[in-house]
Amino acid sequence: MHDLFTLWPDFTNRYEASQASLRTYRQKFDVFLKWLAGRNANSSAPIQAMEDVTRELAEDYARFIFRRKSTARKDIDNLRRLWEVLLPDLERNPWKIGLHLRTPPTPKPCNYRPLSLDEARRFVRASLEAAEKCDPSSPNRDARFATGRGKFEDIADAAVFAWHYGMRMGSLASLDWKELATWRRGYFLHVPPKTRFSKPWPLEIPVVKEVAEVLAARQSQRNDKRKSAAPSPLFPFLTEEYRRSQPNLATSVKGLFKCAGIRDTHKGRAQMHSFRASFITQMDEAGVPTGITDCITGHAARSVHDLYSHARPQALRKWLDKAIPNLHE
């Protein structure tokens, strides 16, 4: 019989591992012994030997450890290894248990919710108002906004791209004038950073009227300045902030949503990625084939497309009335 509370020297003599690994094993084994001591104190038949540990007891401990530690799987694997070393002839290792014991996570809503047209317009207005507060010559100057005019102006224009094309923040920050060289011909080529290595072919994106207006205004501003060496980002301040600190940029965007009175709902958070959800939702509501939408968003799998599509009740009612006849005429 192997006494659980005195077996450690025997294990270290039989198992070859680094001192750091042995310390980790000992820490995890001590957690089990502490739990077992508490269980024995309230039991009429305390367990002292390794041979007395049953699968039921192992499952009870697994439920306990799964609730309190994110590395619970490693704890169970270490105990399984300890039993394999000291009891190699055991018919069934009690620690060979599956992940089904983990408590199922609470269902979460969709990460990002779509925006209405009014909400998108309010967001752009809030971005421009924030930029105005950063301007020293503006009558609406706010001392709390020391810097950031260029960033907020970039976010306002980037929202136009996100609204019309469903672009991610990474794509907006990576847009370069070299990619946009053909915009006056009515299209431009863009390789999304997220799929640059897995699917390196460019998306051919049409230039709509509102986007063309943004590009024309930025082109004139760019021509007024000394042309710098490549690369030359379309949204330089947004790109700089994205590369420096994505969390800070996300916080700024969240603050603009708050200023615009746009809140999180049960459908998900209101963040820059909401523009992507809005684009796909509106394309679906208009009856646009999924393949057309995916040519612009770059989605390859239908399952990914479904994550972003949130048809609104009005659109659902329209399609239901059209497709499903009444049972009682």
CB 280 within 8 A of CB 293: yes
What percentage of the chain reaches a pLDDT higher than 90? 26
Q: Is 49 helix (H, G, I), strand (E, B) or coil?
A: strand
290-311 mean pLDDT:
69
Mean pLDDT (the chain) is: 82
pLDDT given for residue 65 in this prediction = 85
> Is pLDDT above 60 for 270?
yes
Instruction: Kindly report whether the peptide bond that precedes residue 88 is cis, defined as omega within 30 degrees of 0.
Output: no
CB 60 within 8 A of CB 101: no
Boundaries of every domain in the chain: 8-101, 117-322
The structure's pTM equals: 0.61
The secondary structure of residue 143, as a DSSP letter, is T
- How many CB atoms are closer than 10 A to CB 283? 21
pLDDT band at 297 (very low <50, low <70, confident <90, very high): confident
pLDDT given for residue 148 in this prediction = 79
Alpha-carbon span 120 to 104, nearest angstrom: 36
Name the residue with tokens 């020391």: 146
> Is pLDDT above 60 for 87?
yes
> Is pLDDT above 70 for 184?
yes
CA distance readout (Å), 196 to 114, 170, 243: 26, 11, 17
CA distance readout (Å), 199 to 205, 300, 304: 16, 9, 15
Q: Kindly report, residue by residue over 116-132, the tens digit of the pLDDT.
A: 999 999 999 999 999 88
225-231 mean pLDDT:
53
Highest mean pLDDT among 37-51, 166-180, 296-310: 166-180
Q: Kindly report, residue by residue over 27-81, the tens digit of the pLDDT.
A: 889 989 999 999 888 888 888 888 888 888 888 888 888 877 667 788 888 888 8
CATH number given to 117-322:
1.10.443.10
Residue 82: both structure tokens together: 């300890």
pLDDT given for residue 274 in this prediction = 92
287-298 mean pLDDT:
80
For the chain, the residue count is 329
Please state at what angle helix 274-285 crosses helix 290-297, rounded to 10 degrees: 160
> Is pLDDT above 90 for 169?
yes
CA distance readout (Å), 116 to 74, 223, 281: 46, 35, 10
pLDDT band at 222 (very low <50, low <70, confident <90, very high): confident
> Is pLDDT above 50 for 226?
no
179-201 mean pLDDT:
85
Q: What is the CA angle 114-289-286, rounded to 5?
A: 50
pLDDT given for residue 102 in this prediction = 57
pLDDT given for residue 316 in this prediction = 52
Highest mean pLDDT among 178-187, 226-235, 295-304: 178-187
pLDDT band at 201 (very low <50, low <70, confident <90, very high): confident
Alpha-carbon span 140 to 134, nearest angstrom: 9
pLDDT given for residue 262 in this prediction = 92
